[in-house]
Structure 1
Amino acid sequence: MIFLSKSKSRTVHHYHDESGDDGEASTSLTVWTKSLVYSCSGFTVIGSDGGLAYRVDNYTGRPDQTILMDGSGNPIFTICRRKKPMFCVRKNNMRLRQTKVDDVVAYVYCGILENRCMYVVEGSFTHRSCKILDESRRVVAEIKKKEAMPKGASFGLEVFHLIIKPGFHCKFAMAIVLLLDQMYSY
Structure 2
Amino acid sequence: MAKVYPQALLSSAQYLTTQQEVFTVWMKSLVLNGNGCTVFNSSGQLVYRVDNYDSKCADEVFLMDSKGNLLFTVLKKKFRVFGTWEGYKFAPGDCGRSSTGKLKEGKNLHFKVKKPLCFLRKRDDFPPCEVLLGLEKNQSLYKYKMEDWAGNGTCKIVDNLGALVAEVKRKQSTSGVVLGEDVLTMVVEPNYDHSLIMGFVVVCALINHQM
**TM-score (structure 1 length as normaliser):** 0.75
Alignment of 1:1-186 (within 5 A): 12-14=13-15, 24-62=18-56, 63-81=58-76, 83-84=105-106, 85-93=109-117, 95-98=118-121, 103-110=126-133, 111=135, 118-150=143-175, 155-185=179-209
- Deviation, 1:38, is 1.0
Name the CA shift for 1:151/1:121 in 2 (closer, same or farther; >3 Å): closer
Ranges in structure 2 where 5+ consecutive residues have no aligned partner? 1-11, 78-104
Q: Tell me which residue corresponds to 1:21.
A: none
- Is 1:14–1:53's contact at 8 Å kept on the other side of the alignment? no
Q: Which amino acid aligns with 1:169?
A: D
User: Alpha carbon RMSD of aligned pairs, Å?
Assistant: 2.9
Q: Which amino acid aligns with 1:120?
A: K
Q: Percent identity?
A: 29
Name the CA shift for 1:98/1:60 in 2 (closer, same or farther; >3 Å): same
Question: CA deviation digits over 1:121-160, x for unaligned, max 9?
Answer: 11244145431001121110011110135496x5221000
Cα distance in 2 between the residues matched to 1:170 and 1:78: 16
In the alignment of these two chains, the number of paired residues is 164
Superposition misfits of 4+ residues, deviation over 4 angstroms: 99-103, 149-152
Name the CA shift for 1:128/1:86 in 2 (closer, same or farther; >3 Å): closer
Question: CA deviation digits over 1:46-78, x for unaligned, max 9?
Answer: 111111010011124143311101111111000
Q: Which amino acid aligns with 2:53?
A: Y
- Deviation, 1:184, is 1.6
**TM-score (structure 2 length as normaliser):** 0.67
SS at match of 2:119: helix
Q: Which amino acid aligns with 2:76?
A: R
Ranges in structure 1 where 5+ consecutive residues have no aligned partner? 1-10, 17-23
Cα distance in 1 between the residues matched to 2:124 and 2:35: 33
Cα distance in 2 between the residues matched to 1:132 and 1:13: 20
Higher-strand-fraction structure: 1
SS at match of 1:136: coil
